[in-house]
Amino acid sequence: MTPSVAQRGSTPAHSTGSRVAARDFQRPRRLSRERLRELALPLENLLPALEKRLSDSPGLALGLSLGELSESDAGTLFAGAAEPLCVLRFRVGKDPAWAVWEPLAAVGAVETLFGARGSIGTARKLSPSEAKVAQQLLGEITRAVCGALKLAPAELVLVQSASELGTWREGGETAQPHRLEVRLQLACGATTSTLCLYLPGIGAGEAVLAPLPAKLPAHLERVEVELSARLAGCEISLDQLLALEEGDVIPLEARVGDPTTLAVEGLTLAEARLGCHRGRLAVRVERLRVEPESLA
C-alpha cells in the first residue's frame, strides 16, 4: 500500500508549456467537472419556479441565482465561525448537513417580512418569531434544492450558536466529511447575499458497467491484479519532498479503525477499515461497490 503525499502550493507554469491551474490541497476533490455540471443542470432548471414561489410571500421580492458548485470538508467548515449564526441544520439519511446564510442578510429579510422599510439592520441574534420565519424560508429553499438532487432532508432546525451545529461524525461509523457545496445568490431588494448548502451523499455518478459473467473464464483465473488501499495523506514542504531518501519514514494520520477505500486498476472496489492481522497492517472489507475513479 502506497501512501499519498500532499504538497502545498502549485507548480509554476513554464512560458513555453501549458499553464498549470493552481490547486488547493486542503479542499477535497472527488467530483469531475463533468459531474459538477451534471449536478448544476437540475438546479438551474429549478430556480426560476422556486424564485416565483418565494416571491409570492407578501412583502418579499426575492431573486435567486446559482453560484459555484464545489466540494468542502465538513471537518473545517465552521472553524472560527463568529456568532450569531444563521444556519439551518438538517439531516440527509444519517448524515448532518447545513444551509448557511449570512446573518446580516437574514436580519434584513425577516425585518422586511415584518414590515420594516428602509432598515439597514445589524447582524444580531434573531428573535423566536424571526427565527421561525427564517427557518421557513431556508427550509423551503433547502427542500427544493435537495429534491432536485434526489436527496431527502429531515429534522430541519435553525441554529444561531456554534454549540448547536453538530459535526459530520454524528453520521455514524461510515460517516465521511465530504460535502457538496451549493452556493446560491439571494437578492432581496438592494441587498445581495450568499446562501451555502453543504450536502452529503453526492457521489461521482452512476457507472455504466457490463454485467459480470456467471463464471470467470479459466484463462483469467491466474491473472494477477494490483489491489491498493488509500491511506490518509500528509503535508510536507517541497524541500523535504526533494530530500527524501530510501529508508525515510513519513508519518501519516491514519489510525487503526479509520475508513479507507480499496481500488483495482482505476475502479473503487470496496469500502474498508484499517486494522491489524497477525501483526501486519491489514484492511477489513465492509462494503463492496464498483465505480470508476473520478478524473477531476
pLDDT tier, 115 (very low <50, low <70, confident <90, very high otherwise)? low
* pLDDT confidence of residue 263: 84
Work out the average pLDDT over 75-94: 90
The candidate with the shortest Cα–Cα distance to 103, out of 129, 131, 76, is 131
- pLDDT tens across 38-75, in order? 999 999 999 998 888 887 765 567 788 999 899 999 98
Looking at the chain, the whole-number percentage of residues with pLDDT higher than 70 is: 79
> 33-199, which class in CATH?
alpha beta
Work out the average pLDDT over 75-82: 86
Q: Is the pLDDT of residue 25 over 60?
A: no
Residue in the structure block whose three cell numbers are 420594516: 116
Average pLDDT, the chain: 80
- pLDDT tens across 226-243, in order? 888 877 777 888 888 888
Domain with CATH 3.40.1550.10 in the chain: 33-199
The candidate with the shortest Cα–Cα distance to 171, out of 272, 75, 78, is 75
pTM above 0.85, yes or no: no
- pLDDT tens across 234-277, in order? 788 888 888 888 888 888 777 788 888 888 876 788 888 888 88
